[in-house]
Amino acid sequence: MSNSLISIILPYYKKEKYVHETIKSILNQTHQNFEILIVNDELSDASFQVLEKISKIDNRIKVLNNKKNIGAGPSRNFAIDLSNGKYIAFCDCDDLWKLNKLERQFQNMEKYNQVFSFTDYEIINDNNLKVDFREAKNNLNFTKLRNSCDIGLSTVMLKKSILNNKKFRFGEIKTKEDFVLWLILAQNEINLSALNECLVSWRKSTNSLSSSTIQKLIDGFRVYKNYLHYGYFKSFYFLMVLSANYMLKKFK
């Protein structure tokens, strides 16, 4: 089995409190053939200082600076085009990877010739305490995914070759930009392969953008209206279905 290069993409915006621990969890991986592309989307004096220090920790870390603040989705799209790996893995700057995250996914994808892989993950709070758990659902297709976003961004690894199609990119919205890409891939019959191992700790931070309910609702509507090109009524209907399924997951 080849020991292929994996490109790891992280957009950075006001995550100084967590980013060092995140990078440490990546550098400690059992699979060591990787490059780390951190996209500076904050562009403040503080972010330049933080990321310059981080870039000196390991020569596999590259910092890319946006020309202006463009958001997480477009930042990832920017890094995709500059990545060199056979595979691309995504991580947010406040999430944590288990030590064998890359190795287990890489082995599995090579063994079964998978192009897209996602895993179970636990949800942690600001103090790294586990507060919930999400299972990666098998046989996830477009219809199921449209009703409930069940793919954790920081669990995803995919073959870069499928992104040669330029329409396969993250959405240009503030939240749910990853949901856009997963839906477009599923709609185009890209097989979304679940690995039922908990390999990621996803942080639910009290002040993160993804915690804003109103923003989530606005962007959820945009996913259906702007990216799936549904009418207003159909978009609103699926937004209600998505919201209901989110609440069910939260309180089960």
**Interval 40-52: pLDDT, tens:** 999 999 999 999 9
Beta strands in 13-104 (DSSP E): 34-40, 61-65, 87-90, 96-97
| pLDDT for res 1 | 45
177-187 and 72-80 helices, crossing angle to 10°: 50
List pLDDT tens digits, range 108-118.
999 999 999 99
The model's pLDDT over 117-173, given as tens digits with 9 standing for 90+, comes to: 999 999 999 999 999 999 999 999 999 999 999 999 999 999 999 999 999 999 999
Axis-axis angle for helices 45-55, 16-27 (nearest 10)? 20
> What burial letters (b/e) apply to 175-198, b meaning 16+ CB within 10 Å?
bbbbbbbbbbbbeeebebbbbebb
User: What are the backbone dihedrals phi and psi of residue 218, each rounded to the nearest 5 degrees, phi first?
Assistant: -60, -50
In the structure encoding, which two tokens stand for residue 219, read together? 């962007």
Instruction: Tell me how far apart the alpha carbons of residues 117 and 128 are, in angstroms, rounded to a whole number.
Output: 25
Which pairs with CB-CB distance under 8 Å and at least 24 residues apart come from 207-213? 208/94, 209/174, 209/175, 210/175, 212/175
Host domain of residue 12: 6-251
Q: Has residue 1 been placed in a domain?
A: no
Do strands 6-12 and 87-90 pair parallel, antiparallel, or not at all (unpaired)?
parallel
Residue 113 within a domain: yes
Q: Give the chain's domain count.
A: 1
pLDDT tens, 163-218? 999 999 999 999 999 999 999 999 999 999 999 999 999 998 776 555 588 889 99
**CATH number for the domain that contains residue 102:** 3.90.550.10
The answer to whether residues 178 and 154 touch, using CB atoms and an 8 Å cutoff, is no
